[in-house]
Amino acid sequence: MARVVVDVMLKPEILDPQGQAVQRALPRLGFEGIADVRQGKRFELEVEGPVDDAALARIHEMAETFLANTVIEDFTVRVDEAARAES
């Protein structure tokens, strides 16, 4: 079983209040030197069968139509080679 990771992040031009809240809290907690924080979502998909180009194309379509809101979010799809090596 292979693992495919889909990362979904707000587009750079979209305001990210969650990330801002984290960034503003950091100095109060003693952590300096972080200029910006963006918070997004990470999906780990366990894929049955081979992760070939066709499977990745389907996962790309799934991410585009379902996991991400492409009006405000960007996403990346990649195979988690570390998880593949373990299995």
Site residues (vs a copy of itself, CB under 8 A): 1, 7-9, 19, 22, 25-26, 29, 31, 33-49, 55, 58, 62, 65-67
| 48, burial (CB in 10 Å: exposed 0-12, middle 13-18, buried 19+) | exposed
Q: Classify 57 as helix, strand or coil.
A: helix
Task: Closer to a copy of itself by CB, 27 or 71: give it.
Answer: 27
For residue 65, the minimal CB distance to a copy of itself (Å) is: 7
Name the token pair of 62. 């799934």
Closest CB 71 distance from a copy of itself, rounded Å? 19
Looking at residue 48, what DSSP letter applies? S
Residue (65 or 71) nearer to a copy of itself, CB: 65
Alpha-carbon distance of 30 to 82, in angstroms, equals: 33
Between 17 and 33, name the residue whose CB sits nearer to a copy of itself.
33
